[in-house]
Amino acid sequence: QSVLTQPPSISAAPGQKVTMSCFGSSSNIGDNYVSWYQQLPGTAPRLLIFDTNRRASGIPDRFSASKTGTSVTLQITGLQTGDEADYYCGAWDTSLNAEVFGGGIKLTVL
């Protein structure tokens, strides 16, 4: 059971927009910066978003993120088949004194 909660899957058509959520608590998302990671099949994760809403180097502006209270969202516009991947949220948890991740959401681009 992950400390951060993500729906297990989401799907959308090419060219469409998708919004995926990550739910936490006051000790993690509510109190600290959040990151998002993309893991393409068979590869290592890579950083997409850091400091809650800042894109990592080389990440297109189709990817954006925001926070409201103890939840965060990652939005991808202009979906491409190459965006099919698992997406993870992560944050430091002040109570656990540990980095915590969501269980990951599998994005399917139909």
Partner 1 sequence: EVQLVESGGGLVQPGGSLRLSCAASGFTFSDYSMDWVRQAPGKGLEWVGRSRNKANNYMTEYAASVKGRFIIFRDDSGNSLSLQMNNLKTEDTAVYYCTCGFFFHWGQGSLVTVSS
Contacting partner 1 within 61-100 (CB under 8 A): 86, 88, 90, 96-100
| C-alpha torsion 90→110→63→85, nearest 10 | 40
Cβ distance to partner 1 smaller for residue 23 or 77? 23
Strands (E) across the chain are located at 9-12, 18-23, 34-39, 46-50, 54-55, 63-68, 71-76, 85-93, 98-101, 105-109
Q: Are 38 and 58 in contact (CB under 8 A)?
A: no
Q: How far is the CB of 46 from partner 1 (least distance, A)?
A: 6
Range in contact with partner 1 (rule: CB under 8 A) among 15-23, 43-51, 60-68, 77-85: 43-51
Does residue number 45 form part of the binding site for partner 1 (CB under 8 A)?
yes
Cβ distance to partner 1 smaller for residue 77 or 92? 92
Does residue number 23 form part of the binding site for partner 1 (CB under 8 A)?
no
The SS3 of residue 82 is helix
Residue 78 tokens read as 């202009």
Residue the block writes with tokens 């959520």: 21
Cβ distance to partner 1 smaller for residue 14 or 51? 51
Residues in contact with partner 1 by CB under 8 A are 2, 35, 37, 44-47, 50, 56, 86, 88, 90, 96-104
